[in-house]
Structure 1
Amino acid sequence: MNILKSLFSSPPAPLSYMKLGPDGSKDNPLMIQFFTWESQVTETSWWKHFENEIPTLAEMGFTQVWLPPPNKAAHPEGRGYDAYDLWDLGEFDQKGSIATRWGSKEEFLSACRVAKEHQVDIIIDAVLNHKLGADRVEEVKVIPVDPQNRLKALGPRQEIEGWTIFDFPGRGNKYSSMRWNQEYFTGLDWDQKTQTKGVFKIVGKGHKGWSKNVDKELGNYDYLLGVDIDHRHPEVQRDFFSWGSWIIETTGAVGFRLDAIKHIDRGFTLRFLQSTRKSTNSRMFSVAEYWSGNINSVLPYTRAFKGETAFFDVPLHMNFHHASQHYSRYDLRTLMDNSLVKIKPGHAVTFVDNHDTVIPYISQNEASADSFLLVQVEGQSLESWVGDHFKIQAYAVILLRGTGYPCVFYGDLYPNTECFNENIARNLELLVKARKLYAYGGTQDYPSTKNCIGFVRMGDSTHSGCAVILSNREDDYVHSIRMNVGRSHAESTFQSYLTTDGRVEIDAEGWGEFTCFAGSAQVWVKLES
């Protein structure tokens, strides 16, 4: 019977067992993405800036921080997504500098130590799909393919000069002795001999073509950018598995954000997670970026990874984006439809915006080489910024409802040159505080009308709960929804939390008439005597 049960039982939902916050804490866990695409500060490094902010983040209730890729990039200002050397955390003189854009290895590890002292977990952004910034070219046999259909050849086999040799002259053999060449790649996008850009599939002895265990977009989406890694190669796997354990042990990080997994062989990614979790921590955290607003594309990936990773809820983000585009024409009662958090809440890391959704708004003149390359590749799929007029409503949904694991974007909370709105930041800080103090217990929904919905968190033995109303009307209307906050709050008074002048009297059965101005959000909490 036990054997049969194990054969047919589903693996546990990732968020049910992975580490999300301090052991033993009963406070709600919360993640922040601590960077934007253009992140920089004057007079200090980004790592030092982060270290200085850790006490404040901990006090606010953040339990995990997703940091930008710490590895050496292809050029000094690279963000790390243009991955040159994963083993160089700002330690070696390579690609024009010792430090990365974010700072030195010493500064990075110092920030990690301070975070641990404040019980704030570090999440490493793992860029495992590709490499850029090769040290030398070599002759590579390729077949040019259609960028819009990578299964369609555009010409015969030919020989090009490809930037595929990575010597790591500054690092030498420290940490890893592996040297990369064309043997370990499946494709590239530049012929140095003819100065031609394209998508070139590497062929010849030992090469297996594109991996079949990737997304089927564009025929086969194994190739994304730069020099694409062949994750089926045993030596590639050994180096990555070793790096996974090393980066966790070196930094004390709790886990990974996995970049661009739709382009990486699924079998490799699963084994990478299993291997690293086995060698480090069984509760290792992982969240994968599979960028698709189509829930039917996301769900097969959640099954394929057998509970080893959570996923960013891109379908919910796209709902937020569409709601902000359509204003009062959008039916708020459908806001959660076809989202990961509704269908598989134990797999869903929810978010409103991130560094990718900001990228299309960077001009070509301002963009670095790697950022503009990403715009060209992902382009339209990432043009999904949530408008300011709906931003707080969206954050109220992910921060105050009872399902999913929310991630706040640095760009919405901290002053920056890309997307900062002072009013949004002020209200977002209040919502973060409300999550920490009030948003506990079961969730009861009140889908009142097309343009106004509400929900109540019923609270628990130590938290009083809250009532929330969202609106997307575009006039001066004042909404009202009758909601029940529970008999334990009978004959009490609730006060508005995002403003200071509202009061609601709760009757003997726990009912109250809660209000919200059109085009805004309001949170109501119990007035303590």
Structure 2
Amino acid sequence: MKKTHFLVSMLVLTIFNACQSRDENDNENPRSDEVHSKTVNVTTHDGRPFSTGSGSVSGKFVSGPGGGVLMQGFYWDVPEGGNWWNTVKDKLTAWSDSGIGAVWLPPASKAQNGAYSMGYDPTDYYDFGNFNQNGSVETRFGSRTELEALITKAHAENMQVYADIVINHNSGGQSQANPFTGTNTWTDFSAIASGKFPRSYNDFYKNSYGNNDEGAFGGFPDLCHANPYVQGWLWGRDDSVGKYYKNVMKFDGWRFDYVKGFGPWVVNNWNASVGGFSVGELWDSNVNTLEWWANNANSSVFDFAAYYKMDEAFDNGNLNALNDDMMWKRNPYKAVTFVANHDTDIINNKMPAYAYILTHEGYPTIFYRDYEEWLNKQKLNNLIWIHNNKATGNTSILYTDNDEYIARRNGYNGNPGLVVYINNSSSWQERWVETNWSSKQIKDFTGNSTWYPTTQGDQWVKIQSPPNSYSIWSLNQ
């Protein structure tokens, strides 16, 4: 969730040195101390963590051996005026053609600030821009009709759509006398325009169920998940929020906002009752905490551990940080990796970071502004293609120092995998590495190197990486 006093971090674009081409001129055997191999003991991630639908539609997204990629389809303070759903809808075909398999949308329902709100102060979960309340009919993003058209178009492109769900707190209620506080509280949601999920003071802490749950946020009324009435309206009833979003609005999954504010059992129950892909925003760099939450919520979680390690690696000149523990190494099926999002944007050297998440295990996310405005879209599309077609099997870290990082995806089910070489230094670097392939010609699928080396019979080969950049190697086929 975007804290109301945050500003989106300024992006410092890194200008990469022009790629050079060099001829391979050394085929001697590597010294035994040149390459240090470390295998990460993680489960293989070889498919999307959600259903792709049936059939293969020419020109639409079709899941490849490496899985899919998620697009965060917004940023903080997207333009006002109710046109954002149309903006996203118009980009879906290009995203699908580029290999993006799902889009995450901002909170879609009417919030306290009406047409000006980013949706994280929800008032009426069933008003998608079709009721006149909180000063407007449309939300900041548009009308219900436009949202439904976006979702329909995404499904036609064989893409999934994830809803951002804010169930920790509400905003925009009317004042009422509250016997549990002895004061008036803004907890009267009895007159919401949709008529669905009316709420009063006993549906928020403190109340007859206790004084608080895991955490309130920003002074907003803190929704009481211990109350069976609240549980029913959120996920239990046939017309609950979750089931309405899934069955009527046709959302395919959920991004749960601020899950520190309530127990993981809430998401677990939602998932059991409603279904669909889910990921939680647990803003914590401790991988033990991330794993604990994901297991107890039966949900994916954003890999904040990887996020902060990437900042240390790519911005602070210490690629050894990538040896450290991360959620994708613990359980790639429950790790959603990212380089930036609407809340936090601290990694400046972004292209190597995207090369990292798009060649490694986990479910990688592309940030809208990085893709559409700030970075090189052609290079990102190249990385997405590599992810979808070559990034298979578990991961072995082959070499790290402050400036260099080399890892191998070991391949799966006939797919050859890859070797990624990230170079933070200001000059070309070369290394002998052990590959998956014996006596095979390989190439750099980024085009950054023009070498076409052949692996030795023992699967070793020398590869290179350009300065302040990366190369990604696989069979020349």
Cα distance in 1 between the residues matched to 2:429 and 2:159: 39
1:181 to 2:200 alignment: yes
Tell me how far 1:432 sits from its aligned partner.
Answer: 1.1
73 and 238 in structure 1: CA distance in 2 versus 1, 3 angstrom threshold: same
Partners of 1:232 and 1:265 within 8 A in 2? no
Could you give the per-residue CA deviations for residues 466-506 of structure 1, whole angstroms, max 9, x where no partner exists? 33111223xx3221121234335x2525245153x521311
56 and 463 in structure 1: CA distance in 2 versus 1, 3 angstrom threshold: farther
* Equivalence for 1:167: 190
Tell me how far 1:17 sits from its aligned partner.
Answer: 9.1
* Equivalence for 1:432: 384
For the residue of structure 2 that corresponds to 1:90, the secondary structure is coil
1:347 to 2:334 alignment: yes
List alignment gaps of at least 5 residues for structure 2: 1-42, 56-62
* Equivalence for 1:361: none
Cα distance in 1 between the residues matched to 2:259 and 2:45: 17
Q: 1:32 aligns with which of 71, 85, 101?
A: 71
Cα distance in 1 between the residues matched to 2:165 and 2:300: 15
Q: 1:263 aligns with which of 261, 264, 284?
A: 261
Tell me how far 1:309 sits from its aligned partner.
Answer: 1.0
268 and 523 in structure 1: CA distance in 2 versus 1, 3 angstrom threshold: closer
Partners of 1:137 and 1:162 within 8 A in 2? yes
* Equivalence for 1:125: 164
Tell me how far 1:83 sits from its aligned partner.
Answer: 0.8
Pairing 1:232-311 to 2, within 5 Å after superposition: 232-241=226-235, 242-277=240-275, 284-305=276-297, 308-311=298-301
Could you give the per-residue CA deviations for residues 4-25 of structure 1, whole angstroms, max 9, x where no partner exists? xxxxxxxx99998952534574
For the residue of structure 2 that corresponds to 1:321, the secondary structure is helix
Tell me how far 1:223 sits from its aligned partner.
Answer: 4.5
1:486 to 2:436 alignment: yes
The amino acid that maps onto 1:254 is D
Tell me how far 1:31 sits from its aligned partner.
Answer: 1.1
TM-score, L = length of structure 2: 0.81
1:45 to 2:43 alignment: no
Partners of 2:75 and 2:342 within 8 A in 1? yes
Could you give the per-residue CA deviations for residues 104-155 of structure 1, whole angstroms, max 9, x where no partner exists? 0001011111111111011111111111122x21233566xxxxxxxxxxxx
For the residue of structure 1 that corresponds to 2:190, the secondary structure is coil
The amino acid that maps onto 1:99 is E
Count how many residue pairs are aligned between Structure 1 and Structure 2.
421
The amino acid that maps onto 2:369 is G
List alignment gaps of at least 5 residues for structure 1: 1-11, 144-158, 187-201, 215-220, 278-283, 359-384
Cα distance in 2 between the residues matched to 1:297 and 1:463: 34
Cα distance in 2 between the residues matched to 1:493 and 1:436: 18
For the residue of structure 2 that corresponds to 1:446, the secondary structure is strand
Tell me how far 1:526 sits from its aligned partner.
Answer: 4.3
The amino acid that maps onto 1:351 is F
1:318 to 2:308 alignment: yes
1:506 to 2:454 alignment: yes
495 and 209 in structure 1: CA distance in 2 versus 1, 3 angstrom threshold: closer
Cα distance in 1 between the residues matched to 2:264 and 2:391: 36
Query: Which segment is superposed worse, 445-454 or 435-444?
Result: 435-444
Cα distance in 2 between the residues matched to 1:132 and 1:13: 43
Pairing 1:8-27 to 2, within 5 Å after superposition: 18-23=49-54, 25-27=63-65
1:413 to 2:371 alignment: yes
Cα distance in 1 between the residues matched to 2:314 and 2:389: 28
For the residue of structure 1 that corresponds to 2:358, the secondary structure is helix
Cα distance in 2 between the residues matched to 1:433 and 1:15: 15
Cα distance in 2 between the residues matched to 1:247 and 1:269: 15
For the residue of structure 2 that corresponds to 1:62, the secondary structure is coil
Cα distance in 2 between the residues matched to 1:437 and 1:300: 31
* Equivalence for 1:98: 137
Pairing 1:50-89 to 2, within 5 Å after superposition: 50-75=88-113, 76-89=115-128
* Equivalence for 1:468: 420
* Equivalence for 1:112: 151
Cα distance in 2 between the residues matched to 1:310 and 1:304: 10
Q: Is the helix fraction higher in 1 or 2?
A: 1
Cα distance in 1 between the residues matched to 2:278 and 2:411: 29
Larger RCO of the pair (alpha carbons < 8 Å, separation 6+) = 2
